[in-house]
Chain A
Amino acid sequence: MYYFLNNTSNYLASGIEHAEYQRLRLFKKHHTPAKIVTKTYQLNAADHLRANGVQPEDCINMIDYFCDNLDLTPQVLTIRDVTQNSPFRVVKDGEIYRCYDQQRELQRVWTKHNKLVAVDHFDGDHQQVRSDFYDSRGFKAKSAFYATADDAQARRLTLEQYYAVNGRIGYEISYRQRQGGVVAVNHRIQLANGQTWSVLNSAHAFTIFLDCLNMANGGENVFISDRSNVTNQPMIAMQTPAIKIEHFHNIHFANYRDPMNSALTYASISETERLAKTNLIITPTVTQADDMRMRLKTKVPITNVPVGYVPAARLSMPRRSMSDQRRIKGKVIAIARLDAQKNLAEAILAFEAAHTQLPWLTFDIYGYADSGSGEEQKLRQLVHANKLEDCVRFMGYTEDMQSVYQSAQLLLMTSRHEGAPLSLVEAASYGVPQLAYDCFYGPAYIIANGQSGYLVNYGDRAQLTARIVTIMQDTQLLQRLSDGAYQRAKDFSEDAVWQQWQDKVINNDQLKQLPPDPEQVAQVKARVTFGKIDFVTPKSGA
């Protein structure tokens, strides 16, 4: 079994999730068992996964696992499930229902689209003492308990309990007040068979979960850590024999223009001992693998596998020429989160300069704003200051990227750094030529320079503008680049990328040599034989 490790399942999926979900589809299609594994629980995870084209049963969350909430048949809970046997007087207030005993509000029920979301419980002084939360699959999944004081402001979270459908407590987190907020200080895991663990942090709990998963599947499964800061340390700390792969999705160094000397940003590679316990490192591009190999001088193999691929069905779709009516003439797009890394101000300013020469150009930016970064506001101000409101639009997050690509003529990317921008491959597959700053890493790997688009020296905005103008003015050139893009996409075909997974990971015998120290392997194996008792899987485990 291949387990892809991530933090959680958000609705707004970033490049890492998209890469992971695509990989899952690829593995499934080739009958290679794989699952996504997440640490942080979300009430609506099943909905988010479905929205992103993933079957909820292909993702195992840690808390769901400990609470046996896997492979559930979804149910719908409504206000009636709370009120039907209630002695309280219920007053409806929009989607909120207030439950009164005499004049005292003792419960407040929150619903959304008639589905039960949460129930707050109050004491006699109307201080909130507890809240229950309902999973979108239709069961009470979690309660939060609050410590209260005579001073109503002093209320704070003190305990969270997570439940199995039958009400059994599978996971508990205790909190302590610290500097105006609370921090988790103890996690308790209890399996249906009675086995328990008490640990100090969620990372340790995650390690136990991974060990359980691993042994439930006979051990020596392959774990791919996709979100290094959350998943690497727990994976490396696993006690049971497993193949551990660290998958990079972004650059590995601090100064995005200095790959060989600026600080290493991930402990997964900057700590010798963590690195030495890794069986393989995967980067999205050849150059990053080369740079990393040169810099780390480790014996741990470092290879590259493209993070995205083009589904076979899309490659066989009829091509849409640049003169096709359905393409919007002069439509330039960028696909990027509104985040400093994406450096969209450069794209906007380059576009602005091109627009003064070719006023029929328009620019649509697709991507959600990273909360708290302030980047969205900056970009909107920039658009406003340059009076570009009529031709530059912020389109937000969209699920239907196909229509976006199929109606566009050019894609811009001015990121400070990238891992391997999936959007460049996607754009190519829909025949959209690309102009990109030659950043570390990705553009140079994906764009066939002069054939499917052009690389622009990093930061050379004037050159970027010049390229936009040249291409958009020259319909023949535009068509040639579009043809080149369709052509280039074939190099990232499903088959080509699957072949790389097979050669570099699945059939890579080198990986089967478990941790480098044979003595250690023997010890671990001995412990695991004994540990069959230690690592009993919950009933519904994989």
Chain B
Amino acid sequence: MYYFLDENLSKFASGIEHAVMNRQRLFKKNGVESKIITVNYSTNVVDHVAYWHLQHTDLINLYDYFAESSDLPEARTTLSKLGYQTKDYRFEADGDQVKIFSTTSLVMIAHLFADEQGGVYSLDFLDAKQRVIRTDYYDTRGYRSMSQYFAKADNAQENWVVLEQFFTVAGRIFLEKYYIRGDNGAGKLNHMRLTLKTGQSYMLENKTALYRSFIEQLALDLPGTVTFIADRQGELSRAMAFSQVPARKILCIHNLHYAPYDDPKHAHLAYDALAKTDELSRVDMIIASTPQQAADIQRRIYSQVPVVSVPVGMVSDSLIQQPQVPIAAPTRHQGKIVAVARLFWQKNLADAIRAFAIARQTLPWLTFDIYGYGDARDQYHEEKQLKKLVAELHLQACVSFLGHTNNIAAVYDHAQMMVLTSRFEGFALALLEAHAHGVPVVTYDINYGPASIVQAGQSGFLVAPGDYRQLAEKLVQVFSDQPLLAALSQGAYQVATRFSEAAIWQQWHHNVIQRSGK
């Protein structure tokens, strides 16, 4: 059994969660059992499962596990099921809230789900001054899953969470979280008490200890040795490393392993999982997304713990089976160069624009489309700068900012070339997507991704980071030589097959599943 350790699978899942779900599909297809493990509390895990088209057996959430609720179907709690009778209380609907009065005093407020199914999400209890003293949360499977209690004083400013109790479906308290008042006045987690159904009780100092108990339970539930793959670094990977069970422990690194990202020369190891020998030495293997990163990590940690690589991106069978679009096909726009990247500092699109401007002096029929949205994190500064640059270079007629698209496949099928000038990447998935559609690539040879995907001279070219003049030269060279362009397109299709489901599975099998035997 493989357990993939993650934080949550909400609807706002990041690239890491997508990679994990793809991995699970691949494992399933190849008959290897796996489950995604999540540790964040949520009242609607069951929704997440449905949203991502998972089976409920594909996922175990920490709170569901201890609440013994994993197998229940969705059944939301209705107002009437709360147990407060209309002869004693008056109910007043107010939008998504229902106010509940005892004679003239407002004593409770029920918060309802805003979607069409409705049902109770939470219930606040009020004191005589109508301040919330307690909130109950209801799981969408129809039971009270958590109560939160607030510390109060006559001084209205004093208000912090003092206690959280988590309940099993049957109503037994399995977890209590105790808070102290932090310096900022808010509750700060102090310690926890976990009680198993056997009655055994544990005092836990922090989240890591809670995760560790969970991980140890999971391992003990099954005969034989299970394998954990921690996809998130921090408390989860630490809990895995220090768990005292005979399990195989694998650390999967999805991002750059050093920080600050933009200064690899002076950067330090970003994760305690790597930087602290005591944590590092307790894992059995490290997986990186590219062979280059794996080699860098191995050299840097100088440890006996093996570092292997398995690509985090893959090309689906259905895409590989699609008919190829020849580079000279009329559906492809001649001279169309694309970049698929957010308008953000990291992506360094100014260099791509500069390179394009130089190339276009020789080949005026080239055009450049940029797909990606601006970023609120920098107040769209980068977007403004890029647009200013395009104006300064008088390229408005041939450089287009096209924002986000839902049909990226069509973009690739109409293009003849992709450029990538990022300062750094984890895997550079866009390059692989482009190759899967027969689009060659000229890219900066940055950490990490380009060198593991692009085969120099066969599916595109790698140039030194920052050398946009050379990038321009390569564009001119390729677009001046139609047979070369066609060959690179063929090469791109070819390279993409190396990332087929079967090929990626082969790497999982060879690098991880077979190797991680203890």
User: In the complex, which residue of chain A has the Cβ closest to the Cβ of B301?
Assistant: A272
User: Contact: A269 with B277, CB < 8 Å?
Assistant: yes
Q: Counting CB contacts under 8 A, is A238 at the interface?
A: no
Q: Counting CB contacts under 8 A, is A296 at the interface?
A: yes
List residues of chain B with CB within 8 A of the CB of A516: 299, 302
Q: Counting CB contacts under 8 A, is B60 at the interface?
A: no
User: Contact: B299 with A272, CB < 8 Å?
Assistant: no
Interface 1/0s, chain A 269-289, versus B by CB < 8 A?
Answer: 111110110000000000000
User: Contact: B300 with A276, CB < 8 Å?
Assistant: yes
List residues of chain A with CB within 8 A of the CB of B274: 272
User: Contact: B302 with A298, CB < 8 Å?
Assistant: yes
Q: Counting CB contacts under 8 A, is B276 at the interface?
A: yes
Within 8 A of B (CB), among A295-338: 295-300
Q: Counting CB contacts under 8 A, is B189 at the interface?
A: no
The residue in A263, A299, A300 that gathers the most chain B C-beta atoms within 10 A of its C-beta is A299
Known: A273-B269, A276-B302. A297 touches B275 (CB 8 A): no
Taking residues whose C-beta sits less than 8 angstroms from the other chain, chain B's interface range is: 10 to 19
Q: Counting CB contacts under 8 A, is B305 at the interface?
A: yes
List residues of chain B with CB within 8 A of the CB of A271: 275-277
User: Contact: A295 with B281, CB < 8 Å?
Assistant: yes
User: In the complex, which residue of chain B has the Cβ closest to the Cβ of A523?
Assistant: B265
From B277, B299, B300, give the contact of A298 (CB < 8 A): B277
Q: Counting CB contacts under 8 A, is A45 at the interface?
A: no
CA distance A271 to B303 in the complex (A): 12
User: Contact: B305 with A297, CB < 8 Å?
Assistant: yes
Known: A271-B275, A272-B274, A273-B269. A300 touches B302 (CB 8 A): yes
Q: Counting CB contacts under 8 A, is B278 at the interface?
A: yes
CA distance A299 to B304 in the complex (A): 6
User: Contact: A272 with B304, CB < 8 Å?
Assistant: no
CA distance A272 to B273 in the complex (A): 10
From B275, B278, B303, give the contact of A299 (CB < 8 A): B303
User: Contact: A298 with B276, CB < 8 Å?
Assistant: no
List residues of chain B with CB within 8 A of the CB of A298: 277, 281, 302-304
Q: Counting CB contacts under 8 A, is B280 at the interface?
A: yes
User: In the complex, which residue of chain A has the Cβ closest to the Cβ of B272?
Assistant: A272
Known: A272-B269, A273-B269. A263 touches B302 (CB 8 A): no
Q: Counting CB contacts under 8 A, is B268 at the interface?
A: yes
From B275, B281, B299, give the contact of A296 (CB < 8 A): B281
The residue in B278, B299, B305 that gathers the most chain A C-beta atoms within 10 A of its C-beta is B278
Within 8 A of B (CB), among A504-541: 516-517
Q: Counting CB contacts under 8 A, is A354 at the interface?
A: no
List residues of chain B with CB within 8 A of the CB of A263: 278
Q: Counting CB contacts under 8 A, is A189 at the interface?
A: no
CA distance A300 to B305 in the complex (A): 12
CA distance A445 to B222 in the complex (A): 42
Known: A295-B281, A297-B280, A297-B281. A275 touches B302 (CB 8 A): yes
User: Contact: B278 with A297, CB < 8 Å?
Assistant: no
List residues of chain A with CB within 8 A of the CB of B301: 272, 276
CA distance A269 to B281 in the complex (A): 11
User: Contact: A297 with B299, CB < 8 Å?
Assistant: no
Determine how close the nearest CB of chain A comes to the CB of B218; give it in whole angstroms. 21
The residue in A264, A273, A296, A517 that gathers the most chain B C-beta atoms within 10 A of its C-beta is A273
CA distance A225 to B275 in the complex (A): 21
Within 8 A of A (CB), among B249-280: 268-269, 274-278, 280
Determine how close the nearest CB of chain B comes to the CB of A297; give it in whole angstroms. 4
CA distance A97 to B79 in the complex (A): 93
Known: A272-B269, A273-B268, A273-B269. A264 touches B302 (CB 8 A): no
Known: A272-B303, A297-B303, A516-B299. 20 other contacts (CB 8 A): A264-B277, A270-B278, A271-B277, A272-B269, A272-B275, A272-B276, A272-B280, A272-B301, A272-B302, A275-B302, A276-B300, A276-B302, A276-B303, A295-B278, A298-B281, A298-B303, A298-B304, A299-B302, A516-B302, A517-B299
What are 25 A-B contacts with C-beta separation under 8 Å? A269-B277, A271-B275, A271-B277, A272-B269, A272-B274, A272-B275, A272-B276, A272-B277, A272-B300, A273-B268, A273-B269, A273-B300, A275-B277, A276-B301, A296-B277, A297-B277, A297-B280, A298-B277, A298-B281, A298-B302, A298-B303, A299-B303, A300-B302, A517-B299, A517-B300
- Give residues in B with beta carbon < 8 Å to A: 268-269, 274-278, 280-281, 299-305
Closest 7 CB pairs of A and B: A276-B302, A297-B281, A297-B304, A299-B302, A272-B275, A516-B302, A272-B301
